[in-house]
Amino acid sequence: MSATEAAAAVARVHRAEWARVVATLARRFGDFDVAEEAAAEAFATAVERWPADGVPPNPGAWLTTTAHRKAVDRLRREAKRAEKQREALMPSDAPEPLGAVDDDRLRLIFTCCHPALAMETRVALTLRMLGGLTVSEIASAFLVQEAAMGRRITRAKEKIRAARIPYRVPAGEDLPDRVAGVLTVLYLIFNEGYLASGPGTPPVRGELTAEAIRLTRLVRALMPADGEVAGLLALMLLTEARRGARVSASGELVALDEQDRGAWNRELIAEGHALVRERLASGRPPGRYQILAAINAVHTDARDIRDTDWSQVVALYDQLARLDPSPVVRLNRAVAVAELDGPEVALAQLDGLPLTGYRPFHAARAELLRRLGRSKESRAAYGAAIALAGNAEETAYLVRRRDQLAGP
């Protein structure tokens, strides 16, 4: 195996196994820095050895074993960590409290999402530890400087260590108070997988979307009566169902109105629709994720873009705006309004939103201006969107749309 092939194999395995390796080490050693650094060393060792030895039959197990050895070696070298070393190397006779579900990755999420940490810190730390995102990718998602995000993650680890925050899934009675932060994390992990923001990354990272769905199913098993858990799972399933039509054969991002709906996963759509109907039948006021799932249910129920019930979509966005009157929600509502009342009405609602650093804002403006025949302004808006595009596939789509405009 060539070094290039080995590096590609390590990259694939990293996306699939990083969370599992880090979570296992975090449980074993009780230290996030040890877990993360040992995992990174194991992957570096794979880059060195796999060209000669080949990819092992079970890469995840190989990496976990190698990382465990790296961690033990590090602890042995550090005299100040001698007590931690003895604890790590000596099996305990007392069973560890497992909480409601025994899953290392779910434990890691609940630890990172402890109420002692600020909400944004919880999300950032979990995206780093469990999602395997770089600090740069997380900083981009939060629209902050990379150095500031790095400091935030470091402080979070220090606080977990100093406060002795337990590495476990909470007991059943504590779950309701802890689940909101977990759902936020899972949603952002899924979004990063569905449209990756890092340069050089594939536009869709299936291992992240699959992991987010898997963990959300576990949370739903913990809390089957929680409407927002069900809503988030439905939202993920209905979005994931469209993943196969998300990128064209030529490697260009495909917008919803251009997607081959025959390529959508009908099994996932059926499951997502069933969850939405279940929540509607409950008669309880829906939360944010339930409304977003309902919007996606309307889209996936239409066999053709022309069959979309846009009045229902706008009504759902009105309901969402009462819960979350954010500029992004208002942007998405304006896009739906364009289908009902025309692009001029939508553009009036969109202009003035404080989203100048947000790529979808400029892309939406470009499309509305295109429909109004204002090609020069549309071209400029496409240019702003292209400058903010997160990957090559997204850029290719925006460039094509811009270059289809008439005029200079």
* Res 251: pLDDT: 80
133: CB partners within 8 A, 6+ apart: 127, 141, 192, 198
Cα separation of 127 and 215, whole Å? 13
Q: Which fold has domain 3-89?
A: Rna Polymerase Sigma Factor; Chain: A (1.10.1740)
Question: Where are the chain's structural domains?
Answer: 3-89
pLDDT tens-digit series, residues 172-224: 677 777 888 889 888 988 887 787 655 555 667 777 788 889 889 888 887 88
pLDDT tens-digit series, residues 97-119: 444 445 787 788 888 888 888 87
* Res 97: pLDDT: 43
What tokens does 370 get? Answer: 């295109």
* Minimum mean pLDDT range among 23-37, 114-128, 243-257: 114-128
The mean pLDDT value for 73-92 works out to 62
Instruction: Specify the amino acid at residue 150.
Output: G
pLDDT tens-digit series, residues 132-187: 778 887 787 666 789 999 999 999 988 888 888 877 777 767 777 788 888 988 89
Q: What angle do CA 284, 308, 365 make, to 5 degrees?
A: 100
* Res 166: pLDDT: 76
Cα separation of 317 and 216, whole Å? 24
pLDDT tens-digit series, residues 227-249: 999 999 999 999 999 998 988 88
Sign of CA dihedral 297, 298, 303, 304: negative
* Res 295: pLDDT: 98
**Residue 89 clears pLDDT 80, i.e. is over it:** no
* Res 92: pLDDT: 41
What length does the chain have? 408
**Residue 122 clears pLDDT 90, i.e. is over it:** no
* Res 135: pLDDT: 85
Which pLDDT band holds residue 341 (cuts at 50, 70, 90)? Answer: very high
Which pLDDT band holds residue 96 (cuts at 50, 70, 90)? Answer: very low
SS3 helix, strand, coil % of the chain, rounded to 5? 75, 0, 25
The mean pLDDT value for 243-268 works out to 91
For residue 284, is it left (φ>0), alpha (ψ between -120 and 50) or beta?
beta
For residue 254, is it left (φ>0), alpha (ψ between -120 and 50) or beta?
beta
320: CB partners within 8 A, 6+ apart: 288, 291, 292, 295, 329, 333
Cα separation of 36 and 20, whole Å? 11
Cα separation of 254 and 181, whole Å? 31
* Res 222: pLDDT: 77
3-state SS, residue 388: helix
By the 8 A CB rule, do 274 and 246 touch?
Answer: no
* Res 14: pLDDT: 85
Phi–psi pair at 4, nearest 5 degrees: -65, -45
Cα separation of 62 and 326, whole Å? 46
* Res 98: pLDDT: 40
Which pLDDT band holds residue 88 (cuts at 50, 70, 90)? Answer: low
* Res 200: pLDDT: 57
**Residue 284 clears pLDDT 80, i.e. is over it:** yes
* Res 82: pLDDT: 56
By the 8 A CB rule, do 37 and 4 touch?
Answer: no
* Res 201: pLDDT: 59
* Minimum mean pLDDT range among 39-48, 245-254, 302-311, 317-326: 245-254
Cα separation of 53 and 294, whole Å? 50
Highest mean pLDDT range out of 4-18, 41-55, 168-182, 268-282? 268-282
The pTM for the full model equals: 0.74
